[in-house]
Amino acid sequence: TGRVVQPPIMPGWDGYDIRGRLARAFAEHAGTDRCARVPVLVDNDANLMAYGEQRTGYPDCSAFALVKVSTGIGAGMVVGGAVYRGVDGGAGDIGHIRVGADAPCRCGSYGCLAAVASGGAVARRLAEAGVRAASGSDVRDLLTAGHPEAMALAREAGRQVGDVLATVVTLLNPGVLMIAGDLAGTPFLTGVRELLYQRALPRSTAHLDVVTSRLGERAALVGAGALVVEHLYAPERAEERLAALGV
């Protein structure tokens, strides 16, 4: 529907009609009939990243999963070449699975995966230890600089995410599990692998590649571009346009 539905960390956006708002903005500013009909496509970052990475790097992979670990945690899945959204777009919101800890989460609940293993959670622990860090991108900078405490916390966060991913992998049986976002680096990946291979059945991981992002910060843009191309050149829309042109 192009609407945000009960976003765990942005409650004020519940039910907001993003598509309608953007379509009106285009129409107001463009002022021509042609631009007034510009289609608006809406999707979340993890879905678009998964689509961009799968299309460009793993086009033959029929079950592809991407987990984005930045300030929050989210996942996108591309199954049979299409983004898998679930019955109403809620698929992949793994950041608010309860993992048993009592850390308060931005969603209002306690013990969510994002509350203990996201870039935001690692930043908070670092800040408590006197290290200057307020967000996932601060943690990324510390990891790039090889900060020992940040690396140890990232590995521990990877282990916690890996524990949840053992279930994801068992359910989806993907060929590629990609770790993306601010925390995606060697320490985090090591932690993911430690728990994932320990907890998931060998059958589920026999043909699984656990990799890091190839497109980096461009992934969601590449995915959005691919989505636009798919939309515009879908057979029925191409036929419509040709008919309108009298071809």
- Phi, psi torsion values for 72, nearest 5 degrees: -115, -170
CB of 120 to Zn ion, least distance (A): 11
151 lies in the binding site for Zn ion (CB under 5 A)? no
**Per-position b or e across 228-245, b if 16+ CB within 10 A of its CB:** eebeeeeeeeeeeeeeee
CA distance to 9, 30, 33, 38, 79, per residue, from 19 (Å): 20, 16, 18, 11, 25
105 lies in the binding site for Zn ion (CB under 5 A)? yes
CB of 108 to Zn ion, least distance (A): 7
Q: Which is nearer to Zn ion, 105 or 126 (CB)?
A: 105
CA 198 to chain CA centroid, Å, is 24
107 lies in the binding site for Zn ion (CB under 5 A)? yes
CB of 115 to Zn ion, least distance (A): 6
CB of 110 to Zn ion, least distance (A): 8
CB of 96 to Zn ion, least distance (A): 4
Joined tokens for residue 56: 């460009």
- d(C-alpha 30, C-alpha 25), whole Å: 8
Q: Which amino acid type is present at position 82?
A: A
164 lies in the binding site for Zn ion (CB under 5 A)? no
DSSP helix/strand/coil, 104:
strand
Q: Which is nearer to Zn ion, 62 or 109 (CB)?
A: 109
96 lies in the binding site for Zn ion (CB under 5 A)? yes
> Which residues, 6+ apart, have CB-to-CB distance to 77 below 8 Å?
50, 63, 64, 65, 66, 83, 84, 91, 92, 172, 174
CA 11 to chain CA centroid, Å, is 19
User: Which residue, among 28, 16, 77, 11, has the nearest Cα to 50 in the 3D structure?
Assistant: 77
Q: Which is nearer to Zn ion, 95 or 187 (CB)?
A: 95
Q: Which is nearer to Zn ion, 41 or 97 (CB)?
A: 97
Q: Which is nearer to Zn ion, 121 or 179 (CB)?
A: 121
Q: Which is nearer to Zn ion, 105 or 180 (CB)?
A: 105
Which x/- pattern over 108-147 shows residues binding Zn ion (rule: CB under 5 A)?
A: -x--x-----------------------------------
Which x/- pattern over 50-89 shows residues binding Zn ion (rule: CB under 5 A)?
A: ----------------------------------------
Q: Which residues bind Zn ion (CB under 5 A)?
A: 96, 105, 107, 109, 112
